[in-house]
Amino acid sequence: MTRPSAGGRIEVICGCMYSGKTEELIRRMRQVMIARQPCRVFTPRLDTRYSAQHVASHAGARLEAIPVSSIKEVLASADDLQVAAIDELHFLEDAPDVILAGCQALADRGLRVIVAGLDQDYRADPFPGMMQLMAVAEQVDKLYAICVRCGAYATRSQRLIDGRPAPADAPTLVVGGLDLYEARCRSCYEPAR
Ligand code: ADP
Ligand code: ZN
């Protein structure tokens, strides 16, 4: 086994929808760009809410990004990089252990790897890929939104269909915005049935 290169690290930005994960990723990447470090932002192809060539926060901040379907594509275009950022990691099509191995390989090469993604799905179950990355990351930041019902800190993404909680057997990944998802706290969250 080769010794990991110095400087490599994994940073995970997690939380529910509207918690500011993309804003935080953009903030960190703007600093990286000011420091003129070779960097690239990647965004899963599945996330078609906004222009595919950008990551965009709900508040409107945008940054150029390269659409990818798999962590392999990130590995293939990371040779010249010091920093690689992946937004909406939960949308990558790979199995959780493949995502984990890919991010570990990047960090072992000496890259700073910044990933942002949902820690829980709409059923409030952990996203396995995010869960595993959090365990090995050098830094984990959990962000909070504001509960639309009571104003407390929100940690959960409520998916609604015609104003009612989506059933538990609905697809895990459905791209949508305020029409489909609400940020809610533990006590205002209504479990999927
Ligand atoms: P995430 O990537 O976590 O979904 P974004 O960075 O895209 O979040 O968006 C965060 C922004 O969403 C906030 O700065 C705010 O303007 C907006 N927003 C909309 N609804 C809420 C909410 N319920 N709580 C907090 N912020 C919200
Ligand atoms: Zn609440």
Q: Which residue has the higher pLDDT, 15 or 176?
A: 15
88 is catalytic: yes
Cβ 132 under 6 angstroms from ligand 1? no
pLDDT value for 147: 98
Looking at every residue in the chain, the average pLDDT score rounds to 92
For the chain, what's the residue count? 193
Mean pLDDT of 166-172: 88
Ligand nearest to the CA of 148: 1
Q: How far apart are CA 106 and CA 111, in angstroms?
A: 6
| Atom of ligand 1 minimally distant from the CA of 183 | 23
Tokens of 85: 């950022």
- Where do the domains of the chain lie? 9-143
pLDDT level of residue 2 (50, 70, 90 thresholds): low
| Atom of ligand 1 minimally distant from the CA of 15 | 3
The CATH number fitting domain 9-143, selected from 3.30.70.20, 3.40.50.620, 3.40.50.300, 1.10.1610.10? 3.40.50.300
* Long-range contacts of residues 34-39, Cβ cutoff 8 Å, at least 24 apart: 37/82, 37/83, 38/80, 38/81, 38/82, 38/83, 39/81, 39/82, 39/83, 39/84, 39/85
Neighbours of ion ligand 2 (CB under 5 A): 147, 149-150, 152, 185, 188
What residues have CB less than 8 Å from 191, skipping those under 6 apart? 123, 124, 165, 168
pLDDT value for 52: 67
**Cβ neighbours, 10 Å, residue 53:** 11
pTM for the whole structure: 0.94
pLDDT value for 163: 87
Cβ 181 under 6 angstroms from ligand 1? no
